[in-house]
Amino acid sequence: MGDPNRLAIYTQIAQHDELFCGEMHAKSHISPPTLSHHLKVLTELGLIASRKDGLNVFYRIVPGTFKAYLDYLRQIGSRPMTK
């Protein structure tokens, strides 16, 4: 999630039950190849999932994954720092 575009894409998907790739492109300034790259990264991280319907690809949030990442970050953030 370290990229502002990736966070914007995730947020956009989170605002819908499911979002068509073409809608994301139409609502953003991101080029199709860049959008595709970020969707691939989010999918590989387990944050989103996709389904194909003919030539269309729809994306949705994977429930619980983002919370699991946050819980992990809180856990490691609360540990004392060592040198």
pLDDT at 79: 74
Domain 4-77 CATH assignment equals 1.10.10.10: yes
- Number of other residues whose CB lies within 10 A of the CB of residue 42: 23
pLDDT at 1: 59
pLDDT at 51: 96
Q: What is the residue extent of each domain of the chain?
A: 4-77
- The residue behind tokens 């300034």 is 29
d(C-alpha 48, C-alpha 58), whole Å: 10
What HEC string does 47-80 produce? Answer: CEEEEEECCEEEEEECCCHHHHHHHHHHHHHCCC
Q: pLDDT of 62-72, one tens digit each?
A: 988 778 877 77
d(C-alpha 52, C-alpha 70), whole Å: 29
Q: pLDDT of 15-57, one tens digit each?
A: 999 999 889 888 888 899 999 999 999 999 999 999 999 999 9
